[in-house]
Amino acid sequence: MVARYYNGESAAVEEVALRVTTHELVIYRPADSAIVARWPVADITVLGDSRHEAAPPVVLRGGEARLVIEDPAARAQLASLVPALAPLSLPPEPVAPRLAGFSVALVALVGMFWGAVEYGTEHAAPLIPYSLQAKLGESVLDELLADKEMCEGKAGLAAINRLANDLAKEAGYKHEITVHIVEGGPVNAFTLPGSILVFYSDLIDQAKDSSQVAGVLAHEIGHVVHQHPTKGLVKAYGMDLLLKILSGGYSDILNTLGSGGGVLLALRNGRAFEREADETGVRLLEQRGLRADGVSSFFEQMLAKEPKDAAAAAGIWSSHPPTAERIAATKRSTAGRPAFSAAEWQALRTVCK
Amino acid sequence: MAPGGPWSAPALTPSRPIYDGKLGELYAIYLRHLVLMLLTLGWSRFWGRTRIRRYVWNHVSVLGDRFEYRGRGRELLIGFLFALLLIAAWAGLMYLVWLYVFHEKPFATFGLFDIFSLSVALIGFPLAYVGHYAGLRYKLSRTRWRGIRCGMAGSAWHYGVIATFLGFANAVTGYLLTPVVSVNLARPRIGNARVGTLPFAFAGSASDIYGRFLGYYFLNIIAWVAAAVAVAMAVGGTLEGMGVSFSEVLENLAKPTARTILLILIVAFAAYILFGLLILPLRCWWQAYLVRYLVSRSRAGNVLFATAITTRQMWGFLVLNYLIVLMTLGIGWPWVMHRTMKLIAGQLWIYGAPDGAAVRQPADRGPGYGEGLLDMFDVSGV
């Protein structure tokens, strides 16, 4: 049995022969039979295993010296003589079945992970403590509005917050809603985690009547009660994690492409969320006996202003469904009470003054 | 040797490293690693990386003796947790800065997120270099050849400072300092590495390679201009030829049909080929030269090194490997590793052999944990 012996003190290498007695592994020079080392069988072990290493070294526990046997047959022979050296010659695992097994497992796990993120978010998002969501929303709000002028009209803010909370209660939502109004544009409103709504005053200025503002507000309440901001974050985080794990962090360009895919996915989620918020908003207004035509008339007004609908033109790159589709889905009659009293509406119109 | 004694040529018998790993086996280890990564949400990566290294290291032999990798997954985990603590401490510090310096002061527009992300970007750049060096030290300290531990002297922080300074200086001078950066970063990495008590040495100088670099630098500019003109003419000409306006193109992109997607792929592929033909060979030409130079100026005692790596081989290493990882969505990574090891084994020539008895086991056992910073700030492979 021929091996290479490293003494652990220097990089000298010796070709040696081995003999196993009942108690010892005797390492000797084949030329003159001079003993190089005698290792008690009870104290020898293998570092690593033959499945990961071509020739795992045999060592004396606690020592630096090593014995390396290249010939698999010789390794197997030694392992048969010294049971503690079994990892020296583990039976080789056939590669093809392992490759097939791991590939199938990988595909199945990716599918499950994807499914869990896609469908599990519905259940996972509500599990995130509300205080955490609120904190996140507040820090994002601070960040977004750091250099913006806020509208401080007390009566106007009270009016919009009153309606927001009425609508949320109608949906059985438990938490307090806070609406902020930012001076200027764009003509937009958005929702943050932690029941935070932000309206831009340009939207209020350009609204033809109070029902339009109420319609948009109800739409945003739809986002709040369905926890869309939190769900969106959870989904984006989940997909990002999946891509990172799969690419193993070995390719930065892959991650870049992956985040592109992630953005597209987020936009698709965005479109689904918008449809759900439209539907809920209109339903909440109707349930309270309020005019529910505001959101569709607001969309019509936007479309008339911008006939080349940006959302439709952007297609799969858009965060919102095509406006015409949304108008058709939210079209309602003018029946119902106004959502704001005349005094409230007046206060809201001058909230920034 | 006594003065006037008989002269004898140093033993410079050439040899090459041997890599005898099998792609299928490497894939089996890698796919198992990916499966475990998914099951543990990435936390098994420390152990997975270790298994891959054990496989690759032990399938490389130099002068008939295989390398061993004796790192532990646990050590990488501890390193990562330390780096996490470091970032947490930094975040805390930035919070205090925000609270007492910026919050509700004239700079109120400067939010907490701004400060944190800006500062992380600022420290992340030097820390990635520190992580590179410390990671190399960790890997070497866990690598053995003939039972002797390898190692790395020098300070990782010192390297981080030099690398950051050189990186910055290179960027502001339009990358004209690249040879200075390459040589001065190679020097500590090569010169501080050792096998046991046998140190490596690096005797390169930036002035040796400036001529070739300047040739590459200006040819590269010309190639970019030529590529840009060619792309502009090709795209403009094609659109005109098809009688398509720009807005129609945008409309098509918004709602891509199978035909549009196919067309985009063809255009992207054509642009890549053009880019690949003009720009990348130039880069590979320079990189191959640089590698040849760095290798030939390195030695370990009386052992000399050389490589004759060609531009084409460098293209296979830099470009083809990149494409393999990209096109296979990362699954091709073991193939790339395999190709790289084969390339090193085929192209690195080692002249001579160390006097084994003179190379002693070092007293230093290396760091107790490793690679945390590398894991945190850098895309780190095996």
pLDDT tens digits, one per residue of B14-46 = 999 999 999 999 999 999 999 999 999 888 989
- Of B226, B252, B283, which residue is a domain's last? B283
Domain annotation covers residue A335: yes
- For B180, the token pair is 């200075």
Residue A55 CB partners (closer than 8 Å, separation 6+): A68, A69, A70, A75, B58, B66
Give the gap in angstroms from C-alpha B109 to the nearest C-alpha of chain A. 5
Say if residue B70 is in the same domain as residue B38.
yes
Interstrand relation of B65-69 and B143-145 (parallel, antiparallel or unpaired): antiparallel
Using DSSP, state whether A210 is helix, strand or coil: helix
Domain annotation covers residue A118: no
Say if residue B195 is in the same domain as residue B244.
no
Structural domain tally of chain A? 2
All residues of chain A having their beta carbon less than 8 Å from the beta carbon of residue B322 are 251, 253
- For B238, the token pair is 């094609």
Say if residue B276 is in the same domain as residue B293.
no
Q: Which domain holds residue B138?
A: 15-204+284-377
- Of B220, B255, B283, which residue is a domain's last? B283
How does pLDDT run across A111-140, given as a tens digit for each residue?
A: 998 888 888 887 888 788 888 888 888 877
Domain annotation covers residue B33: yes
- State the pTM of this model: 0.80
A49: amino acid identity, one letter: D
Domain annotation covers residue B20: yes
Q: Which residue of B has its CA nearest to A245?
A: B42
Check CB contact under 8 Å for B58 and A48.
yes
pLDDT tier, A233 (very low <50, low <70, confident <90, very high otherwise)? confident
Considering only CA atoms, which of B8, B341, B301 is closest in space to residue A11?
A: B301
Give the gap in angstroms from C-alpha B24 to the nearest C-alpha of chain A. 6
Say if residue B220 is in the same domain as residue B255.
yes
Q: What is the pLDDT of residue B381?
A: 39
Q: Residue range B114-128: average pLDDT?
A: 76
Residue A341 CB partners (closer than 8 Å, separation 6+): A159
Cβ neighbours, 10 Å, residue B60: 19
Say if residue B274 is in the same domain as residue B290.
no
All residues of chain B having their beta carbon less than 8 Å from the beta carbon of residue A252 are 379
Q: For chain A, percent helix, then strand, then coil, each to nearest 5? A: 55, 15, 30
All residues of chain A having their beta carbon less than 8 Å from the beta carbon of residue B118 are none
Q: How far is CA A231 from CA A123, A124, B40, in A?
A: 9, 8, 22
Closest partner CB to A10 (pick from B254, B333, B361): B361
How does pLDDT run across A152-180, given as a tens digit for each residue?
A: 888 889 999 999 999 999 999 989 999 99
Closest partner CB to B147 (pick from A65, A139, A255): A65
CATH number at residue A6: 2.30.29.30
All residues of chain B having their beta carbon less than 8 Å from the beta carbon of residue A53 are 54-55, 58, 68
Give the residue from B146, B251, B325 with the most A CB atoms within 10 Å of its CB, the best one to mutate: B146
- Of B251, B283, B315, which residue is a domain's last? B283
pLDDT beyond 80 at B242: no
Considering only CA atoms, which of B168, B193, B205, B142 is closest in space to residue B303?
A: B193
Give the residue from A53, A138, A147 with the most B CB atoms within 10 Å of its CB, the best one to mutate: A53
Domain annotation covers residue A116: no
Q: Tell how far CA A156 is from the center of its chain.
A: 38
The pLDDT mean for chain B works out to 86
Domain annotation covers residue A103: no
Which of these ranges, A128-132, B51-55, B201-205, has the smallest mean pLDDT?
A128-132
Give the residue from A4, A46, A52, A267 with the most B CB atoms within 10 Å of its CB, the best one to mutate: A52
How does pLDDT run across A300-341, given as a tens digit for each residue?
A: 888 787 766 555 555 555 567 777 888 888 888 878 888 888
Which of these ranges, A74-83, A281-290, B125-134, B171-180, has the smallest mean pLDDT?
B125-134
- For B211, the token pair is 């001529």
Domain annotation covers residue A250: yes
- Of A89, A116, A150, which residue is a domain's last? A89
Q: Which domain holds residue A250?
A: 130-349
Q: Which residue of A has its CA nearest to B66?
A: A55
Say if residue B197 is in the same domain as residue B80.
yes
